[in-house]
Amino acid sequence: MRAPISDLPVAFEQASLRAGAVNIVSDLDLTLGAGSPTILFGPNGSGKTTLLRLAMGLVAPTSGRISWGGRAEPGERLAMVFQRPVMLRRTAAANVAYALRAHDDRRVAELLDRVGLAHVAGRPARKLSGGEQQRLALARALARDPEILFLDEPTASLDPAATKAVEDIVRAVAASGVKIVMATHDIGQARRLAGDVVFLARGRLVERAAAATFFTAPATPEAAAFLLGDLVI
Partner 1 sequence: MPDGTSALQLVFGGDPALYAIVALSLYVSVCAVILAALVALPFGASLALTRFPGRAFVVVVLNAFMGLPPVVVGLSVYLLLSRSGPLGFLGVLFTPRAMIIAQALLVMPIIAALTCQTVEDLWLEYRDELTALRVTPARRVATLLWDARFSLVTTLLAGFGRAAAEVGTVMIVGGNIDGFTRTMTTAIALETSKGDLPLAMGLGLVLIALIIVVNALAWGARRIGEIRAG
- Interacting residues toward partner 1 by CB under 8 A: 53, 56, 58, 76, 78-80, 82, 85-90, 98-99, 124-127, 140, 144
> Cβ of residue 111: shortest distance to partner 1, in angstroms?
14
The full length of the chain comes to: 233
Residue type, 143: A
Phi, psi for residue 163 in degrees, rounded to 5 = -60, -45
Q: Would you say 84 or 204 has its CB closer to partner 1?
A: 84
Q: Would you say 65 or 101 has its CB closer to partner 1?
A: 101
> Cβ of residue 233: shortest distance to partner 1, in angstroms?
26
> Cβ of residue 118: shortest distance to partner 1, in angstroms?
19
Task: Give the burial string for 206-216 (b: 16+ CB within 10 Å, else e).
Answer: bbbbebeebbe
In the DSSP assignment, the letter for residue 126 is G
Q: Would you say 95 or 155 has its CB closer to partner 1?
A: 95
Phi, psi for residue 204 in degrees, rounded to 5 = -120, 150
| CB distance 146 to 174 below 8 Å | no
CA distance to 27, 197, 199, per residue, from 205 (Å): 8, 11, 6
> Cβ of residue 141: shortest distance to partner 1, in angstroms?
8
Phi, psi for residue 42 in degrees, rounded to 5 = 155, 170
Q: Would you say 144 or 191 has its CB closer to partner 1?
A: 144
Cα 134 versus chain centre, distance = 12
> Cβ of residue 175: shortest distance to partner 1, in angstroms?
23
Q: Would you say 73 or 229 has its CB closer to partner 1?
A: 73
> Cβ of residue 231: shortest distance to partner 1, in angstroms?
29
In the DSSP assignment, the letter for residue 71 is B
Cα 184 versus chain centre, distance = 9
Q: Would you say 57 or 195 has its CB closer to partner 1?
A: 57
